[in-house]
Structure 1
Amino acid sequence: MPQQEQASLWSDTAVKTLDVRSGTVPPGGVLSETGLAASQLLLAIGGQGGLVMNGEGCHVQASFACHAVKGSAYTLSAESDNIHYTAISYKAIPVAGAAHVLFPQRNHPLRTSFIHHSGSPAELHMAAERIAAKWSRGEGLERFHANALLQGMLYELIMEHERGQGGVEPDMVEVVAAYIEGHYRQELGLKELAALAGCGVRQLQRRFKQEKRLGPMEYVIRLRMESAQRMLRYTDASIGEIAERTGYRDMYYFSRAFKKHYGVPPQLFRRTAASAPAVLSAPSGRSESVAFPHGSPQGPLIHHLRGEYLVTAAPQRIAVLDVQYADHLHALGMSPAGSVGFGSGSLNFPAYFHERLITTEMLGTYEYPDLLAVERLRPDLIICTEVHAPHYERLSQVAPTIMFKRNESWQTILKLFGELTGKQAEAERIIADYLRRTALLSAELAPVLAGKSVALIRPRESIVRVHTASHRTGAVLYRDLGLPAPRFVAEPASDTAYHISVDRLPAVHANYYFLLSNERMQEGISMTEHSVRGMLGADKRQLIYPVDAATWIGCYGPTGINCILDQVAQALLA
């Protein structure tokens, strides 16, 4: 991000304290928070202990500061001595009149969870006590002062933390990778990619190769070749059409590039593809994976965030604490014994496969699972995510518990579910069918969307999220289907979405908008969504398609994702 724009983000941002509380964790005691409703600064002093935040643990001692962003989960446990703490909840808000992206980068300090051992613990603790004292005196000037003190404390912590990190530079590799994934069908150059990352060409090439094991332009080529082989395998598009749709103006240059990548020319690849197994690749293009099966004499061995699980027999009563896992089981022809749902008043299962969950017990929500209901269910396997780390020990006492990253590729998870349930062949077939379908739909959409762009937006309170290709649904649209992303999304951001004010929405300049609506979940359209619909509807050159956020955002299983493909085809090919 340009230095001038970054400075503007700070100067146009105010910090508002929401709550301050102090307490003590005795030896052997635990302080636990799940799904924080706001960002929180946890300041502690005293003995040693352990801190697990968002599934990652570390040992803490003497004094530390923990910055946990909204939605985080953490557990602080004391060992031999008391740990005294102050927890300050706050939110960062744009000042009146500010109409810009609010901290788009995932690694921005106020959007990043981190643990820092301060070099001046006594001063930090006294400052925390002073904020607590000001806050306890009630509304008025004292709480105004508490806000000012908190802002100063955040400044000191961020500066000290960044000095300890050797200076924070933008996550340039993920910035560029996310951009490439949404625009690899367009003409790209190294200078353009380096400018997005805010660095030189050589620096970008070096860093990109360190993290991705190939250069940025090689990454572009790999994505283009994966798209081309899917079209060759599953469509009857000509070689010239495929070349054009994957970013090549010259059919002969494309053919040479394809042969160099796969070892055979595209015509021969197409002739032999019918008898060859499908080439399966993760939709994100990223190589890292936190969960995968290994063979063993007794059965598949599943590695997960908390260890290993040996599959000696297919589990019969599975409890899932994320709706996406119920979707995976449904796709494999099974139903979980229990699953979390969604909603604020009455809880529900997703409408698109609700009928398959008639016998499934409701286990609360993803953010607030009903642990007593899980215990009553008596499952023989529990599947959860890193957000449920504070409950892991209790869950493990009920049944063997597997913990996956919530944002893991659905294809990876489906393969694992195939291993768990003995339905590996069915899982592979579902993935192959998805690759075939996206290739066909991508070829059909290409001429319709020539010269046009598609945005994925979600109104939230007083802001609008504009999702990037780093978002899982964004990856389906921009990577798997090859929909052209608006130039606005090309701005450097490694996060899953930009947060912008409603009046900034025209700057997106998309031709089509998929609007993620919470109407079903909150039983009505919010004021922000009304404003967005009115603003976009006034421009006849733009088309808006409201879609159910519960399906497009919450249900990342193969059934839900195929529903997304249905709605994309219905909207753009009507």
Structure 2
Amino acid sequence: MPLQEQTSLWSDTTVKMLDVHSGTLQPGSILSETELTSNLLLLAGGGEGELAMNGEVRHIGASFAAHVIQGSSFTLTASSGNMDYIVIMYKATSIEIVSLVLPSHRKHPLRTSFVQNAGPQAEWVQMAEKIAAKWSRGEGLERFHANALLQGMLYELIMEYERGQGGAESDMVDVVAAYIAGHYRQNLELKELAALAGCSVRQLQRRFKQEKQLGPMEYVIQLRMESASRMLRHTDAPIGEIADRMGYRDMYYFSRAFKKYHGVPPQFYRQTAASRASALSVYSLPQNRMASWYESSHGPVICHMRGQYNVTMSPRRIAVLDVQYADHLLALGMSPAGSVGAGNAAFHFPQYIRARLQDTELLGTYEYPNLPAVERLSPDLIICTEVHEPHYERLSRIAPVLMFKRNESWQTILSLFGELTGKRAEAKRILADYHRRTALLSEELAPVLAGKSVALIRPFESMVRVHTASHRTGAVLYRDLGLPAPLFVADPSDTAYHISVDRLPAVHASHYFLLSSEIMQEGMSATEQSVWGMLDTNERQHIYSVDAATWIGCYGPTGINGIIDQIAQALLA
């Protein structure tokens, strides 16, 4: 992402100066403020003392500058020499919203209290004196100028603070890493990446290695080799074609690079990958006692949230209390005896699998299952999620119950269902087909999306959710297909960021998949209409409205492949 887009989060931040005052502290004198109603800058010079701020006490030298945020308290005590000080109070509007879209591992500087003891404080004090003089002249152009000077001072302070924290340079690395992720198949040069970051080649190499534990060009190779290995595992594409897609014109050079990275030539890697993956799946599953299976002398054992289930015989009448499990069974060629549906006034099965559930009993909804109907169904197995914990005892009296986390990987659940129903080969085939399809589509989309990003958003009440790769549908876009995410959601520490509608342009995506509830609500919500109005003004943006109920709720093989269909149709049109 270009640096101007990285800094766009600041473009709508309005700084408004409120007041300024100055004075002198003699030795033993105190300047104190509690529970500030606004942010302030405190600059002082000429003496020494102590600054107590938010429970911490710091020795203050000949001059310093402190940034103190709203709600904080401080006490400045002069110990030797007269200490001249200036206090500037200000407010920064929209910070509450902006902070929500910054990477979660970083705290917005204007919401951080800090002290700078080293650097050009004398210049800062002189600038503060100029601001005070401008402000004292009353309303009009002079105060307008004072406010502009304050923004300049804040910029200098924050840059100095960020350099001390490594924050500005961390952002530099994030920008370059995001650019590499979208262009690693092309011929990249260090000087090009350094120009993007606005620094020297040497500085970029040093900072990138500190952040990523490898250099920028090594990072390019890593992404190429990971993508190539995925193609080798999941597709039958010729090695020459894979080499060309990864940016290598010479297949021999690609083979050498691949062997250096993975330790084996590409062809050998392809031949052994399938058996190695199979062996790993068998031996690693027993370590996870939640959603896994292992082979016992009596047959497969399914590990779930409430214990273990020994599969001595494949169940035939299965009741599922989440529609995603109906999807899994249908994909394996089975139909559940009963399943919950969706809807408010009238319950129904999702449209995309409704025709295949004609002989399936409707059991209420996911949130409100019809337990008497489950009892009348007399299933020989019930599959539910942790949401149904309050009903577990009653359900257990009807039939054995398997309970999984609702957000468990659909691929894990499909593998377990394959063991449960005696459809292991079918489950493996479905997964292999999916991995092959996403690997090929990822490579097909790469040149189309070079330098662009794709956002997954959902209007929700008065806010908009911007989903990350930690969200299970976001994982399909960003992990399975490798679509480039907007820079500020690159850190998947949570499943989504929440922002106001008017902050949506700060996402700066080229393509938006908008999770719409229009079908369920029988009309577009006011928030969704606002989102369309906000984004539709830019012709360079592409917006694709998709059904939220399907993209989020129907999380099985059929539904996921339907999502892939819609993504391909939208982005390759």
- Is the shorter-chain TM-score for this pair beyond 0.5, marking a shared fold? yes
CA contact (8 A) 2:453 2:511 kept: yes
Matched residue, 1:543: 542
CA contact (8 A) 1:323 1:339 kept: yes
Distance of 1:307 and 1:459 partners within structure 2? 38
Distance of 2:177 and 2:407 partners within structure 1? 20
Matched residue, 2:564: 565
Matched residue, 2:441: 441
Matched residue, 1:100: 98
Amino acid aligned to 2:296: S
CA distance change for structure 1 residues 387 and 542 in 2, over 3 Å: closer, same or farther? Answer: same
Matched residue, 2:320: 320
CA contact (8 A) 1:469 1:496 kept: yes
CA distance change for structure 1 residues 235 and 536 in 2, over 3 Å: closer, same or farther? Answer: farther
Matched residue, 1:369: 369
Matched residue, 1:501: 500
For residue 238 of structure 1, give the secondary structure of its aligned residue in structure 2: helix
Amino acid aligned to 2:303: H
For residue 479 of structure 2, give the secondary structure of its aligned residue in structure 1: helix
1:519-564 superposed Cα distances (whole Å, 9 cap, x missing partner): 1112111111111112111110001111111111111110001101
Query: Which segment is superposed worse, 357-366 or 552-561?
Result: 357-366
Distance of 1:293 and 1:444 partners within structure 2? 35
Distance of 1:569 and 1:278 partners within structure 2? 31
Distance of 2:276 and 2:523 partners within structure 1? 44
Amino acid aligned to 1:298: H
Distance of 1:408 and 1:221 partners within structure 2? 29
CA distance change for structure 1 residues 482 and 107 in 2, over 3 Å: closer, same or farther? Answer: closer
Distance of 1:282 and 1:182 partners within structure 2? 34
Superposed displacement of residue 470, structure 1: 1.0
Superposed displacement of residue 452, structure 1: 1.6
Identity %: 63
Amino acid aligned to 1:240: A
Matched residue, 1:333: 333
For residue 457 of structure 2, give the secondary structure of its aligned residue in structure 1: strand
Superposed displacement of residue 438, structure 1: 1.0
Superposed displacement of residue 393, structure 1: 1.4
For residue 236 of structure 2, give the secondary structure of its aligned residue in structure 1: helix
* Structure showing the higher helix proportion among its residues: 2
Matched residue, 1:229: 232
CA contact (8 A) 1:545 1:571 kept: yes
Q: Which of 229, 238, 241 pairs up with 1:238?
A: 241
CA distance change for structure 1 residues 376 and 184 in 2, over 3 Å: closer, same or farther? Answer: farther
Amino acid aligned to 2:241: S
Matched residue, 2:461: 461
1:412-435 superposed Cα distances (whole Å, 9 cap, x missing partner): 111111111111111111111111
For residue 397 of structure 2, give the secondary structure of its aligned residue in structure 1: helix
User: Which residues of 2 match residues 234-313 of structure 1 at below 5 A?
Assistant: 234=237, 238-244=241-247, 255-256=255-256, 258-260=258-260, 262-266=262-266, 269=269, 272=271, 279=277, 289=288, 290-313=290-313
Superposed displacement of residue 571, structure 1: 0.9
CA distance change for structure 1 residues 345 and 528 in 2, over 3 Å: closer, same or farther? Answer: same
Query: Which segment is superposed worse, 345-354 or 556-565?
Result: 345-354
Distance of 1:253 and 1:558 partners within structure 2? 38
Distance of 1:252 and 1:532 partners within structure 2? 50
Matched residue, 1:381: 381
CA contact (8 A) 1:455 1:510 kept: yes
CA contact (8 A) 2:386 2:404 kept: yes
User: Which residues of 2 match residues 509-528 of structure 1 at below 5 A?
Assistant: 509-528=508-527
CA distance change for structure 1 residues 312 and 385 in 2, over 3 Å: closer, same or farther? Answer: same
For residue 396 of structure 2, give the secondary structure of its aligned residue in structure 1: helix
Amino acid aligned to 1:523: E
Distance of 1:102 and 1:281 partners within structure 2? 43
Distance of 1:475 and 1:259 partners within structure 2? 29
For residue 420 of structure 2, give the secondary structure of its aligned residue in structure 1: helix
For residue 241 of structure 1, give the secondary structure of its aligned residue in structure 2: helix
Distance of 2:331 and 2:222 partners within structure 1? 32
Distance of 1:543 and 1:372 partners within structure 2? 47
For residue 435 of structure 1, give the secondary structure of its aligned residue in structure 2: helix
Amino acid aligned to 1:537: D
Distance of 2:334 and 2:324 partners within structure 1? 13
Distance of 1:345 and 1:496 partners within structure 2? 30
Task: Tell me the number of residue pairs that the alignment of Structure 1 and Structure 2 aligns.
Answer: 396
For residue 299 of structure 2, give the secondary structure of its aligned residue in structure 1: coil
The answer to whether residue 396 in structure 2 is matched with residue 393 in structure 1 is: no
Superposed displacement of residue 266, structure 1: 2.3
Superposed displacement of residue 252, structure 1: 7.5
Distance of 1:325 and 1:464 partners within structure 2? 29
1:420-462 superposed Cα distances (whole Å, 9 cap, x missing partner): 1111111111111111111221222122222221111111111
CA distance change for structure 1 residues 300 and 451 in 2, over 3 Å: closer, same or farther? Answer: same
1:1-21 superposed Cα distances (whole Å, 9 cap, x missing partner): xxxx9xxxxxxxxxxxxxxxx
Distance of 1:182 and 1:320 partners within structure 2? 44
Distance of 2:280 and 2:352 partners within structure 1? 25
Amino acid aligned to 1:310: N
Query: Which segment is superposed worse, 250-259 or 557-566?
Result: 250-259
Matched residue, 2:36: none
User: Which residues of 2 match residues 131-150 of structure 1 at below 5 A?
Assistant: none
Distance of 1:516 and 1:182 partners within structure 2? 27
Distance of 2:343 and 2:329 partners within structure 1? 21
Query: Which segment is superposed worse, 96-105 or 517-526?
Result: 96-105
Distance of 1:324 and 1:180 partners within structure 2? 36
Matched residue, 2:432: 432
Matched residue, 2:126: none
User: Which residues of 2 match residues 35-46 of structure 1 at below 5 A?
Assistant: none
CA contact (8 A) 1:459 1:517 kept: yes
CA distance change for structure 1 residues 504 and 407 in 2, over 3 Å: closer, same or farther? Answer: same
CA distance change for structure 1 residues 418 and 293 in 2, over 3 Å: closer, same or farther? Answer: same
For residue 553 of structure 1, give the secondary structure of its aligned residue in structure 2: helix
Amino acid aligned to 1:409: S
Superposed displacement of residue 183, structure 1: 8.2
Superposed displacement of residue 566, structure 1: 0.8
CA distance change for structure 1 residues 218 and 243 in 2, over 3 Å: closer, same or farther? Answer: closer
CA contact (8 A) 1:101 1:500 kept: no
CA contact (8 A) 2:239 2:266 kept: no
Larger Rg: 2
CA distance change for structure 1 residues 496 and 220 in 2, over 3 Å: closer, same or farther? Answer: farther
CA contact (8 A) 1:342 1:521 kept: no
Distance of 1:107 and 1:542 partners within structure 2? 28
Query: Which segment is superposed worse, 180-189 or 546-555?
Result: 180-189
CA contact (8 A) 1:329 1:335 kept: yes
Superposed displacement of residue 300, structure 1: 0.9
CA distance change for structure 1 residues 223 and 552 in 2, over 3 Å: closer, same or farther? Answer: farther
Distance of 1:470 and 1:384 partners within structure 2? 22
- Structure 2: 5+ residue runs without aligned partners? 1-8, 10-92, 107-172, 191-196, 198-206, 214-218
For residue 300 of structure 1, give the secondary structure of its aligned residue in structure 2: strand
Distance of 1:393 and 1:331 partners within structure 2? 30
Amino acid aligned to 1:474: G
- The higher relative CO (CA closer than 8 Å, separation ≥ 6) is in 1
CA contact (8 A) 2:454 2:485 kept: yes
CA distance change for structure 1 residues 373 and 464 in 2, over 3 Å: closer, same or farther? Answer: same
CA distance change for structure 1 residues 479 and 534 in 2, over 3 Å: closer, same or farther? Answer: same
CA contact (8 A) 1:105 1:495 kept: no
Distance of 2:330 and 2:339 partners within structure 1? 12
Give TM-score scaled by structure 1 length: 0.60
For residue 553 of structure 2, give the secondary structure of its aligned residue in structure 1: coil
